[in-house]
Structure 1
Amino acid sequence: MRIAFVSYETVFHRDTETNQRFQSILELLAARGHDVHLFCTQFWSGERSRLERDGITYHGVSIGPEATTSFLLRLPFVLGPARPDVVHASAQPPGQVLAATCAATLARAPLLVEWYGDGGVTGDRSTRLAAGRPDWIVTPSELVATRVRERGADGDDVETIPNPIELERIRDVQPDERVDVIYARRLDEGANLESLLLALAELRDRNWEATVVGDGPERETYERLASDLRIDDRISFAGELSLDERIAAYRGAHVFAQTAEHCAFPTEMLWALASGCVGIVEYHVDSSAHELVEGWDRGFRTTSEQELADAILAAGDLEHRDYDETFAEYDGDAVTDRYLQRYRALQDDHGVL
């Protein structure tokens, strides 16, 4: 299948969650042998308008991240002649959805839009227009899906497909030493690590050890708070770790705590749950993390530090695991199959043979 992806900005321009998600889909489809093309702003040097890398063909529609107007105007005429079977566009910026609609029309192909949510679900006019144009919209969570519907998307044309993980990679990594609680995220103003630290302080008379993975501008603040709470001798701030190092830590840990206030999809938590961790989520209106643990017998949803502390205690009664087959549906192969099924359904609806 020939798939034309559209994203003004790529992970090679800026390493955001939206761009990471988009790139992962390209790579999964290319690994399956599909003909994958990405129409983007040129991120490579030289005069070549096309770059081949790891089975993906990148097309430089315009040069320079400031060339928004040029990109939008040129896209239909650059993409149309490629004659893709499906056009798959990112929702950011919303204007590119309108340009991708024109491109898909010229190519006589259905249009699917990837709506991730870390900045793309605003309420302005261009967003509302973009929400009503695609043949199908994919979001990573029900939280984002609800907001897209609120912006004018037809609810029957919105589907939730999660971020993918690699179960084989988890099985190949040896578990690290045992810890009771682990937390992992960039330590910025949205981390809300204080909720976990306050909950652990409630349990200072119990035997536990915790690890915090990640770095960021608020790390020193959180380290001071741990010291002020007199629990710093039982918490290890591990800093940034590679994915394999994080997987090893998750396979050794018993509980993964998610307390961040904003989350389109809790990818790091998913890696941890598939690595056997019990999941404890502090509910926030702008986070979808609770969706992963709803209806699951090894997951807890909390709304306060006291409930978080109680959940950590209750989790102690559950067996320790270092792998959980429950999350097989989130494996990259399963996620790829879902996209391919959707592409084929769109082709059938579009009358494409």
Structure 2
Amino acid sequence: MLHLGFEDHRRPGSGGGSARNRAVNARLARHHDITMVTARYPGAEDRVEDGVRHLHLGIGRGYMVSLLSYFACLPWFLLRHSRHHDLVVEEFAAPLGSVSAPRWTRRPTLAVVQWLDAAGKSRQYHLPFLAFESLGLRSHRRAVAVSHDLADQIGSRAPALRVDVVPNGVEPEAFEVREPDSGDVVYLGRLEIAQKGLDLLCEAWAGVAHRVGGRLVIAGDGPDRARLERLCERLGIADSVVMLGRVEGEEKLRLLAGARVVAMPSRYETFGMVAVEALACGSPVVAYAIPCLREVVPEGSGVLVTDLLDAGAYAEALAAAWHDPGLKARAAGSGRDFARRFEWDAIAREQEAVYLDAARAGAASRPDPAERR
């Protein structure tokens, strides 16, 4: 399998999409030969990790240069190398979305869609990313989406595309971790204000920090860390906010398990992996009631704020959740039970079944430009 995975999980600021790819591919590599191709970044190293071969394309000099050069190299790479694989998996990713992989190879292809917001990136950068994303959707015959909401979006734009929903998952160790209640409100994720709503979280915290007994702990890295630190200073909350940086593995699970509340103030998500991880660790989630988070924050295990993107409403929800003595206990019970359906071993088996079916379906209709030479 040739997986055009876009983002190396070792890249600073990498998000849930790369974490998903790592978890699934490490399990599939026990039985399959997998090559993961991602954007080059400063310090990137080609390697074999967890049985997966990692290669890098493009120019590793700055975020946007890295991403756009990766996309620019993909057609050439497919022309030269895809013929040696049984399946090509194209990951839709920011900002371009897709290079329409089926147009560059005769091999069976599959789109994995964890992200579908080229419209937002088009507005942000005033470039036609949405057009590339739309062309990419229409070029594929088969896709995997990580949520039903995302599958509905794909279906509305590419009705002929067959879409299987295979959600994100959580490591089995999450269900075993136990930590004392720290009293803290914890945010875990990429430090990107536009999508993750960290400006809304800081505004909300400024309104309720004096009403709760814990701190706001922000764990993660990303392009907006300096901007976020300046915002905390401007709002006068820097003394009650702890910036941990990136945390992984057991440290991440302990942080989530000890949280009084896990905050997910996202404006937009395609799944909401941190919500499932928090519930698996026994901690409740406070999030805006955006479609995909409604799928993974069940009633009684968290709070969904219906006043979307209202920092004041989010502040009140945080304070109420923090002071609710039974909420964390319910999350540790019914929340953990709910999260068990998302264990990575089962998710990997679901995705493997889709991959095998797509590979058996045969070559795409377009002749391979490389093989015609």
Query: Structure 1 length normalisation: TM-score?
Result: 0.74
The 1:181/1:26 distance shift into structure 2, 3 A limit, reads same
1:29 aligns with 2:28: yes
Q: Matched residue of 1:154: which SS?
A: coil
Structure 1 residue 38 displacement after superposition: 2.9
- Rounded to whole Å, the distance in 1 between the matches of 2:27 and 2:339 is 18
- Give the partner amino acid of 2:201: L
Q: CA deviation at 1:75?
A: 1.1
Partner of 2:357: 345
Look up the match of 1:179.
183
Q: Which residue of 1 aligns with 2:91?
A: 90
In structure 2, the residue matched to 1:128 is 134
Task: State the one-letter code of the partner of 1:113.
Answer: A
Residues 257-266 or 3-12, more deviating? 3-12
Q: Tell me which structure has the larger Cα radius of gyration.
A: 1
1:259·1:283 contact (CA, 8 Å) conserved in 2?
A: no
Which SS does the other structure have where 1:296 is aligned?
A: coil
From 291, 295, 298, the equivalent of 1:291 is 295
Deviation at 1:19, TM superposition (A): 4.0
RMSD: 3.9
Q: Bigger CA drift: 126-135 or 219-228?
A: 219-228
The aligned amino acid for 1:275 is C
Q: Could you list the runs of 5+ residues in structure 1 that have no partner in the other structure? A: none
Please list, as runs of the form range in 1=range in 2, the aligned pairs for 1:65-144 lying within 5 A after superposition. 66=69, 69=72, 71-80=74-83, 82-84=84-86, 86-92=87-93, 93-94=96-97, 96-98=99-101, 100-103=102-105, 105=106, 107=107, 109=108, 111-117=109-115, 120=118, 124-144=130-150
Higher RCO structure, 1 or 2 (CA under 8 Å, sep 6+): 2
Q: In the TM superposition, what is the alpha-carbon distance from 1:131 to its structure 2 partner?
A: 0.5
Displacement, 1:256? 1.8
Name which of 197, 207, 213 aligns with 2:205: 197
- Aligned equivalent of 2:167: 162
Q: Structure 2 residue aligned with 1:4, among 2, 7, 11?
A: 2
**TM-aligned CA deviation for residue 28 of structure 1:** 3.0
1:280 to 261, 269, 286: 286
Report SS of the residue matched to 1:263.
coil
Q: Which amino acid aligns with 1:253?
A: A
Residue ranges of structure 2 left out of the alignment (5+ in a row):
61-65, 123-128, 364-373
After superposition, the Cα gap between the structure-2 partners of 1:44 and 1:196, relative to the gap in structure 1 and judged at 3 Å, is closer
1:240 to 2:245 alignment: yes
Change (3 A) 1:163 1:199: farther
2:232 aligned to which of 206, 222, 229: 222
1:236 deviates by: 5.0
Contact 2:174 2:280 in 1 (8 A): no
Residue 56 of structure 1 is aligned with which of 49, 52, 60? 52
Change (3 A) 1:78 1:222: same
Work out whether residues 97 and 133 of structure 1, in 8 Å CA contact, stay in contact via their aligned partners in 2: yes
> SS where residue 262 of structure 1 aligns?
coil
Q: CA 1:40 to 1:299, structure 2 compared with 1: closer, same or farther past 3 Å?
A: closer
Q: Tell me the distance in 1 between the aligned counterparts of 2:318 and 2:7.
A: 41
**Structure-to-structure mapping, 1:308-323, within 5 angstroms:** 309-310=316-317, 312-313=319-320, 315-318=324-327, 320=329, 322=332
Secondary structure class of the residue paired with 1:96: coil
- The aligned residue for residue 327 of structure 1 is 339
Distance 1:83 1:241, change over 3 A: closer
SS in 2 for 1:197: helix
Report deviation, 1:185.
4.0
Aligned partners of 1:276 and 1:327: how far apart in 2? 10
The separation in 1 between residues aligned to 2:205 and 2:315, in whole angstroms, is: 10
| Corresponding residue of 2:276 | 270
Number of corresponding residues = 327
> Which residue matches 1:148?
154
Q: CA deviation at 1:184?
A: 3.1
Separation (CA, whole Å) in 2 of partners of 1:39 and 1:184? 26
Q: Deviations over 1:115-156 (max 9, x none)?
A: 221755666333222102223212233443343334x32276
Deviation string, structure 1 residues 171-208 (Cα, Å, up to 9, x no partner) = 2x44144316433345553412135315625x72xx64
Does the CA contact (< 8 Å) of 2:284 and 2:328 recur in 1?
no
In 2, are the aligned partners of 1:39 and 1:58 still within 8 Å (CA)?
Answer: yes
The 3-state SS of whatever aligns with 1:33 is coil
Given the superposition, is the C-alpha separation of residues 69 and 312 from structure 1 closer, same or farther in structure 2, using an over 3 Å criterion? closer
CA contact (8 A) 2:143 2:161 kept: no
Identity among equivalent pairs (%): 18
Deviation at 1:275, TM superposition (A): 0.8
1:257 aligned partner:
263
Going by fraction, where is strand more abundant, 1 or 2?
1
